[in-house]
Structure 1
Amino acid sequence: MSISPKRPKGPPLNALRAFEAAARLNGFAAAAEELSVTPGAVAQHIKALEAWVGAPLFERRSQGVALTPLGARSAERFSAAFDALGDAVDALRGHASGQEIRIAAMPSVAQLWLMPRLPALRRALPQVAVSVTASEVPPNLRREPFDLCLFFQDGSRVTAEAILGQDVIVPVCAPHIAAALRNPDDLSGATFLHDANWAGDWPLWLDTVLPGHRIDTTGPLYSLYAMAVEEAVAGAGVLMGHTLLLQRQIEAGQLVPLFDRPMALDRYLTITTARPVRDGSLLADVIAMLAA
C-alpha cells in the first residue's frame, strides 16, 4: 500500500485569504469589509504572511497599498485556488442540503418584490426551505453560499440566468396628494422623498421631463427604499417609483403614478447563479416560478 507524504505545513488559511482579498480588491479596507474583519486584522494577517514568505507582498504607500512584483505574480493563482475551494464547498453543500435554496437580494428587491412571492413558492415547493439575505451589493457567488441572486444590473453589463424586467421610474404618491398634481410643474410645491441608493433618479427624471427648470427637491432621505415607500403610502410626499417593485401598491390604489411620464432605464432586475442551471433541477424550478 502506497503511503502519501504529508502535505507541508503552510501559513494560516486566514492569512492567505486576507492576501487574496486585498490583492483582488486593491486595498486592506475593502478586503476587511468582504471578510467581516477590521483593516488592522487584514494588515496583521498579511504581515504574518510576509514574514513566513520572507519578502514583502505589498508596498505600503501614503494613499494605500500596491502589490509588489512577487505579490502580483502570486495573487492570480491564489484567486483561482479560492475559487476552486468555493466550488468544492458549494458542491458538497449541494449534495448535503439539496432541499434548501439560499437567495441574496438587494434590500428593496427582497422586501418589495421577493417577499410577496414567497408564499406561492412555499405552496408549490413545500419541501424546500428558502432563506433570504438582504445585501446592498451582489455577493461573490464563487465564495459565498448562495444559490441565486436578485439584483439590478446595467444593460451594458447584464450577465444573468433570467431577466425579470426593466427598471421603469415614475413619480408616485398617495391618491389625495395626486389629486393636486396635474402636471410636472406642480411638483415645485411638493415634498420630495428620497432613497439613498437611487439618489440620481429624481434629477434624471426632472432633467428629461422639465429641461431647464429648477425645482427644489429637498426632502427626507431614507436608507431603505421600502421605508420611503411606506412613507409615500402614508402621504408624506412624492417618491420616485420603481414600477417593478411597486406593483402591489399601484394595483391596490395605495400609490398613483403621476403625469403618465414613465421613464425606462437601461437597468434590469436579474437572477444570477454561480454556474449554469441544469434543466429539471430544484434551482431551475425556483427560477421558473420567480420569472413567471
Structure 2
Amino acid sequence: MSVKPPRPMGPPLNALRAFEAAARLGGFSRAAEELCVTPGAVAQQIKQLEDWAGAPFFDRQAQGVQLNALGRQLLPMAERAFDQIADLAQGIRVAASPNRIHIAALPAVAQLWLSPRLPALRQKMPELEISVTALEEPPNLEREPYDLSVFYMPADKGQALVADQIQPVCAPSLAAQLQRPEDLSNCLCLVGSVWANDWSHWLKDGAGLPELSLRGPTYSLYSLAVQEAVNGAGVLMGHESLIAPLLKAGRLVAPFKRPVATGLALSLEMRQPVRDPLARFVAALKGA
C-alpha cells in the first residue's frame, strides 16, 4: 500500500509580500499604505511568516520595528522574487492587451488636466485603449499595474511638463472686493485638502503676510473647490496648470496677479522598459 504523507506547507504569499514591503520601506505602517491594508494586518502576516520560519526578522522596539540581521539577509532575495512576479504580471498584461495604456494620476490632475486632453488623443490614436485610475500618491511602477503616472513632483524627478505656480483666483463678480491681499480676510478662502498649506505658502512668499488669518471650507476634491470658485463661493488658491482654461475663458480671474512657484512640477513617469504604444502616447500627450 502506497504511503502519501502530507507535504510541508510553504509560507503564505501574502505574508512574504508583507515582509518584503515592510523590510524595503522600513516599517509596518508604510508597508500597510503600499499594500492597502492596516498596519495590524501587516504585523499579523509577518508574525505568521516568522512562526513558519521559526525565527524573527524584525526587532520589536518601543519606537517601532527594526530589520534584524536575518531580515537584512533575506530582503534582497524577497525583492528579486517580487520584481520577477511583477515582471510576469506585466508580461501577461502586455501579451493579452498590447495597446492598453493604464495611467495613474492625482485626482485633480486626472479631472482637470488629463481628462480634457483624452478625447483628442483617443481620436488621434484610436488603436490605443486608455484607462485612468485616480490615486493620492504616485504608484510604484515597478510593482503596480500602471504604465504611466502623472503627479506633482520635485522638479528634478520624472519628466516635467509644466512648473507648478499658485495664486488666488475667484469668479469675476468677487474680484471687485479684492483690491489688496489684506482683503482676503473678509472673504471665504477655499481650501483643497491635498494642498492644505497652499494659502500659508502664498501669504508668506506672495503677499508678505504670513500672519493673516483666513477662514473658509475645505474640500476633499480639488475639482469641486475649483467649481465652487467658479460659482462665486469664495477665493481659491489656484494651481495654474489645472485652471489655465478657466483663466483663459474668464470664468476665473487672478485679482492680485502674484504667482508663486511651489518648487514642484506637473511631471510624468513611465514604466521601464518603455513600450512603443506608451512612447507614442506620451509624445502625443506632451504636445496636446
Fold shared, TM-score > 0.5 on shorter chain: yes
Distance of aligned partners of 1:215 and 1:49 in 2 relative to their CA distance in 1, 3 Å threshold: same
Which amino acid counterpart does residue 39 of structure 2 have in structure 1? P
Residue of structure 1 equivalent to 2:4: none
Supply the distance in 2 between the matched residues of 1:217 and 1:84 (Cα, whole angstroms): 51
Alignment of 1:228 with 2:225, yes or no, is yes
Residue of structure 2 equivalent to 1:90: 90
Offset at residue 68 of structure 1 (A): 1.6
Supply the distance in 1 between the matched residues of 2:172 and 2:247 (Cα, whole angstroms): 10
Supply the distance in 2 between the matched residues of 1:217 and 1:87 (Cα, whole angstroms): 50
Residue of structure 1 equivalent to 2:11: 11
Offset at residue 144 of structure 1 (A): 0.6
Distance of aligned partners of 1:26 and 1:211 in 2 relative to their CA distance in 1, 3 Å threshold: same
Post-superposition CA distance 1:195-245 (Å, at most 9, x none): 111122211111123325632112111111111111111111111100100
Aligned 1:182-261 pairs, distance under 5 A? 182-212=179-209, 214-261=211-258
Residue of structure 2 equivalent to 1:274: 271
Residue of structure 2 equivalent to 1:4: none
Supply the distance in 2 between the matched residues of 1:212 and 1:268 (Cα, whole angstroms): 25
Task: Give the conservation status (yes or no) of the 8 Å contact 2:190–2:216.
Answer: yes
Which amino acid counterpart does residue 124 of structure 2 have in structure 1? A
Task: Give the conservation status (yes or no) of the 8 Å contact 2:185–2:215.
Answer: no
Residue of structure 2 equivalent to 1:109: 109
| Structure 1: unaligned runs, 5 residues or longer | 1-7
Aligned 1:16-165 pairs, distance under 5 A? 16-155=16-155, 157-158=156-157, 160=158, 162-165=159-162
Supply the distance in 2 between the matched residues of 1:213 and 1:39 (Cα, whole angstroms): 37
Offset at residue 181 of structure 1 (A): 1.5
Task: Give the conservation status (yes or no) of the 8 Å contact 1:175–1:254.
Answer: yes
Task: Give the conservation status (yes or no) of the 8 Å contact 1:170–1:258.
Answer: no
Offset at residue 165 of structure 1 (A): 0.5
Offset at residue 9 of structure 1 (A): 6.3
Post-superposition CA distance 1:243-263 (Å, at most 9, x none): 100122112211101212111
Task: Give the conservation status (yes or no) of the 8 Å contact 1:191–1:219.
Answer: yes
Residue of structure 2 equivalent to 1:5: none
Residue of structure 2 equivalent to 1:291: 286
Supply the distance in 1 between the matched residues of 2:38 and 2:206 (Cα, whole angstroms): 46
Distance of aligned partners of 1:214 and 1:15 in 2 relative to their CA distance in 1, 3 Å threshold: closer
Offset at residue 180 of structure 1 (A): 2.1
Distance of aligned partners of 1:125 and 1:47 in 2 relative to their CA distance in 1, 3 Å threshold: same
Offset at residue 106 of structure 1 (A): 0.5
Distance of aligned partners of 1:69 and 1:286 in 2 relative to their CA distance in 1, 3 Å threshold: same
Supply the distance in 2 between the matched residues of 1:176 and 1:211 (Cα, whole angstroms): 26
Matched residue SS, 1:260: coil
Supply the distance in 1 between the matched residues of 2:11 and 2:206 (Cα, whole angstroms): 60
Which amino acid counterpart does residue 177 of structure 1 have in structure 2? L
Task: Give the conservation status (yes or no) of the 8 Å contact 1:108–1:226.
Answer: yes
The percent of aligned pairs where both chains have the same amino acid is 52
Supply the distance in 1 between the matched residues of 2:21 and 2:211 (Cα, whole angstroms): 45
Which amino acid counterpart does residue 223 of structure 1 have in structure 2? S
| Off by >3 Å, runs of 4+ in structure 1 | none
Cα root mean square deviation, aligned: 1.8
Supply the distance in 1 between the matched residues of 2:198 and 2:38 (Cα, whole angstroms): 34
* Structure-1-length-normalised TM-score: 0.90
Matched residue SS, 1:102: strand
2:259 to 234, 244, 262: 262
Offset at residue 78 of structure 1 (A): 1.1
